[in-house]
């Protein structure tokens, strides 16, 4: 029998082992490109269809197990086959552990074993596998998986966590650099930027980098358009950026692509309810009766401006000088420099997950507008009847249509309660805390 010069194994064995690899590659292609051959209406069947294909592939492998059970390549492919399922497999772990013991330089073995440890909840073991694989060879799979693990690892304090997040961004960037046509790497880079955005000061540039990475993921890889996690994570960022229509579409798309995942439809429903409540309260000017509202507004005067009336007042943009009080109706869209909005609180509400704290403000003309304040501590809020001044307000018009619902209202965005003047006073530093949102890592 002829032998393969490189491996020293019989050529027929190598040929058959190559067939096993191709079978498992086809299985992954079936899972990852499912919606290229199936409609979104069939999404509910995806998990069972993949499980069925996995069983077929596993059966073909096991027919030859007696012959190849001690071969590294066979153990690798059996482990990879079982790893296609979303949950942990003890059999896969055993196969892959044996494979890397037989061949410590087996990068695919270390990467797949790392994914099994991830699914098992052993993040340290997972990190060690990916790090070990990188010591053998610099590769995109280890880099992007390490990026995900670094963001999930517990940290002793916030500084250590921020450092891990920044390191995870570096890993994801390196993965993209190794193959700019890999949609999964771009998607994971997008997630890394989202995490960095919420952990390191919410720099708008990071938000744009995240959205660009997600867009690039879809551009270079058709399969990426069908990642429910991509649509969900991007929708979470859209919601924080007050791009509510895009957020609703993203949650809806994620729900359609993975009908068994409860979070997307729940987020969509909660956001719709929030928008309905906000628009209703704005139209009604809260629940304050007309007589009480007139009494509240009768004592609304420029004394409420507090420090904003001082020539030494420094605006959020760095401008120094007193601010001119303006009515809500006179504000222009976008940033209103050199002016301040002044009004009375007529309702307040925290959004789901306290992504923002919203309150309704009525001015001297009885115009009502919603104010959305971000990065508020749980203990912070405003009460009905409070006087509020918003220096250099950022005005936005929302016109949203989603399914059979429509919303049209204006809002003022405030990135921190420290920017507000409440009852003539600046807010203390304890009123602010960094916002946090949840997103789904793909490997989970």
Is residue 155 within 8 A of residue 182, CB to CB? The reply is no
The CB density around residue 196, as the number of other CB atoms within 10 Å, is: 23
Half-sphere exposure of 300 (CA within 13 A, CB side): 26
pLDDT of residue 351: 67
pLDDT band, residue 11 (cuts 50/70/90): low
Share of the chain above pLDDT 90, in %: 78
pLDDT band, residue 352 (cuts 50/70/90): low
Tell the residue number behind the tokens 């009502």, with chain if given: 368
The tokens describing 35, both together, are 């919606």
Average pLDDT of the segment spanning 158-179:
94
CA distances from 110 to 90, 299, 429 (A): 15, 70, 47
CA–CA distance, 256 with 312 (Å, rounded to integer) = 54
pLDDT of residue 430: 84
Q: Which CATH class is domain 1-137?
A: mainly alpha
> 344 by DSSP, 3-state: which?
strand
CA–CA distance, 106 with 326 (Å, rounded to integer) = 68
One DSSP character per residue, 11-49 reads: HHHHHHHHHHHHHHHHHHHHHHTHHHHS-GGGGGGHHHH
User: Which range, of 89-98, 214-223, 298-307, 407-416, averages the lowest pLDDT?
Assistant: 298-307
CATH topology of domain 286-431: OB fold (Dihydrolipoamide Acetyltransferase, E2P) (2.40.50)
pLDDT band, residue 239 (cuts 50/70/90): very high
Q: Which of 129, 115, 20 is nearest to 65 (CA)?
A: 20
User: Which range, of 95-99, 200-204, 365-369, averages the lowest pLDDT?
Assistant: 200-204
Is the pLDDT confidence value at 283 over 60? yes
Q: Nearest 5°: phi and psi at 258?
A: -140, 80
Task: Kindly report, as residue ranges, where domains of CATH 2.40.50.550 are found in the chain.
Answer: 286-431
State the Rg of the chain over Cα: 28
Is the pLDDT confidence value at 167 over 80? yes
346 dihedral zone (left: phi>0; alpha: psi -120 to 50; beta): alpha
pLDDT band, residue 101 (cuts 50/70/90): very high
Task: Kindly report, as residue ranges, where domains of CATH 1.25.40.10 are found in the chain.
Answer: 1-137
CA–CA distance, 265 with 271 (Å, rounded to integer) = 10
Average pLDDT of the segment spanning 192-220:
91
89 dihedral zone (left: phi>0; alpha: psi -120 to 50; beta): beta
Is residue 372 within 8 A of residue 328, CB to CB? The reply is no
pTM reported for the whole predicted model:
0.87
Is the pLDDT confidence value at 12 over 60? no
């Amino acid at each position: 029998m002829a032998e393969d010069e490189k491996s020293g194994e019989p050529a027929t064995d190598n040929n058959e082992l190559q067939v096993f690899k191709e079978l498992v590659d086809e299985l992954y292609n079936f899972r990852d490109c499912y919606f290229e051959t199936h409609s979104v209406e069939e999404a509910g069947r995806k998990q069972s269809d993949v499980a069925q294909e996995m069983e077929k592939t596993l059966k073909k492998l096991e027919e030859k197990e007696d012959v190849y059970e001690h071969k590294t390549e066979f153990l690798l492919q059996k482990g990879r086959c079982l790893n296609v399922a979303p949950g942990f497999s003890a059999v896969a772990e055993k196969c892959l552990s044996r494979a890397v013991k037989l061949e410590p330089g087996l990068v695919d073995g270390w990467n797949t074993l790392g994914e099994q440890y991830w699914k098992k909840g052993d993040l340290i073991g997972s990190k060690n596998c990916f790090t070990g694989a990188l010591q053998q060879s610099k590769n995109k799979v280890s880099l992007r998986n390490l990026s995900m693990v670094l963001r999930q690892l517990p940290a002793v304090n916030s500084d250590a966590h921020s450092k891990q997040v920044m390191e995870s961004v570096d890993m994801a960037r390196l993965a993209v650099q190794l193959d700019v046509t890999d949609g999964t790497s771009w998607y994971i880079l997008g997630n890394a930027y989202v995490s960095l955005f919420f952990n390191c000061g919410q720099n708008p540039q990071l938000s744009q980098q995240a959205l660009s990475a997600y867009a690039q993921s879809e551009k270079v890889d058709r399969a990426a358009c069908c990642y429910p996690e991509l649509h969900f994570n991007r929708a979470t960022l859209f919601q924080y950026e007050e791009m509510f229509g895009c957020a609703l579409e993203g949650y809806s798309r994620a729900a359609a692509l993975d009908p068994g995942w409860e979070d997307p439809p729940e987020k969509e429903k909660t956001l719709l309810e929030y928008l309905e409540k906000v628009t209703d309260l704005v139209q009604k000017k809260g629940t304050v009766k007309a007589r009480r509202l007139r009494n509240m507004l009768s004592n609304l005067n420029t004394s409420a401006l507090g420090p904003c009336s001082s020539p030494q007042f420094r605006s959020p943009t760095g401008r120094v000088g007193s601010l001119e009080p303006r009515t809500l109706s006179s504000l222009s869209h976008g940033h209103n420099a050199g002016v301040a909005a002044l009004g009375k609180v007529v309702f307040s509400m925290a959004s789901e997950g306290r992504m923002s704290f919203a309150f309704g403000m009525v001015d001297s003309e009885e115009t009502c507008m919603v104010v959305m304040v971000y990065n508020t501590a749980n203990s912070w809020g405003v009460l009905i009847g409070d006087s509020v001044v918003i220096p250099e307000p950022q005005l936005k018009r929302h016109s949203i249509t989603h399914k059979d619902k429509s919303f049209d209202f204006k809002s003022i965005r405030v990135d921190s309660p420290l920017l507000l003047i409440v009852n003539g006073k600046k807010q203390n530093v304890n009123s602010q805390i960094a916002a946090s949102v949840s997103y789904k890592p793909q490997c989970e």
